[in-house]
């Protein structure tokens, strides 16, 4: 099995997708916290690798939780997550088909989990924005 590579850049959703794919590997392979960091940093290339080389010396024996924290700060900033939460709050079906609306709803719901943390809230939010 070949782990995905992350190049860096300014596309937060690609960064999140890469990290989620790495976490999927960890569900199958029982790595320690430090081994997880070693594996993910091995898959960093180009700009992402240069970023890691700058910060790794000040973060010896980094845990997986700490790596996630600094990775998200760099590649998946809070302002982006806030923007997506606002998009979710304002989401309406409009001219989308029900399937397109459901796909967009599902994509954005993870940015505002407090709004859909029960089946009831999720259903009310979904139905309330249908045309």
At residue 6, what are phi and psi to the nearest 5 degrees? Answer: -120, 130
Give pLDDT, residue 58. 81
The structural domains of the chain, with segments of one domain joined by +, span 12-76, 79-128
The mean pLDDT of 122-130, rounded to a whole number, is: 92
Which of 32, 33, 80 has its CA nearest to residue 59? 33
The mean pLDDT of 94-102, rounded to a whole number, is: 94
Kindly report, residue by residue over 22-55, the tens digit of the pLDDT: 999 999 998 999 999 999 999 999 999 999 999 9
The mean pLDDT of 95-108, rounded to a whole number, is: 94
Output the average pLDDT for the chain. 92
pLDDT value at 57 more than 90:
no
Q: Is the pTM of this model over 0.85?
A: no
Handedness of CA 72, 23, 6, 58 (dihedral sign): positive
Which of 43, 67, 63 has its CA nearest to residue 55? 67
Give pLDDT, residue 59. 74
Residue 68 or residue 61, greater confidence = 68
How confident is residue 64, by pLDDT bands cut at 50, 70 and 90? Answer: very high
How confident is residue 3, by pLDDT bands cut at 50, 70 and 90? Answer: confident
Give pLDDT, residue 61. 79
Contact 111, 89 (CB under 8 A): no
Residue 59 or residue 63, greater confidence = 63
């Amino acid at each position: 099995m070949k782990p995905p590579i992350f190049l860096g850049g300014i596309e937060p959703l690609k960064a999140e997708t890469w990290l989620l794919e790495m976490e999927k590997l960890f569900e199958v392979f029982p790595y320690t916290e430090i081994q997880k960091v070693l594996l993910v940093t091995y898959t960093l290339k180009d700009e992402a690798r240069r970023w890691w080389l700058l910060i790794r010396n000040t973060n010896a024996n980094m845990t997986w939780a700490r790596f996630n924290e600094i990775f998200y700060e760099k590649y998946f900033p809070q302002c982006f997550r806030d923007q997506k939460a606002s998009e979710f709050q304002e989401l309406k079906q409009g001219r989308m088909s029900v399937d397109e609306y459901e796909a967009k709803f599902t994509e954005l719901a993870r940015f505002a989990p407090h709004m859909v943390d029960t089946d009831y809230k999720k259903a009310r939010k979904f139905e309330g924005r249908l045309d």
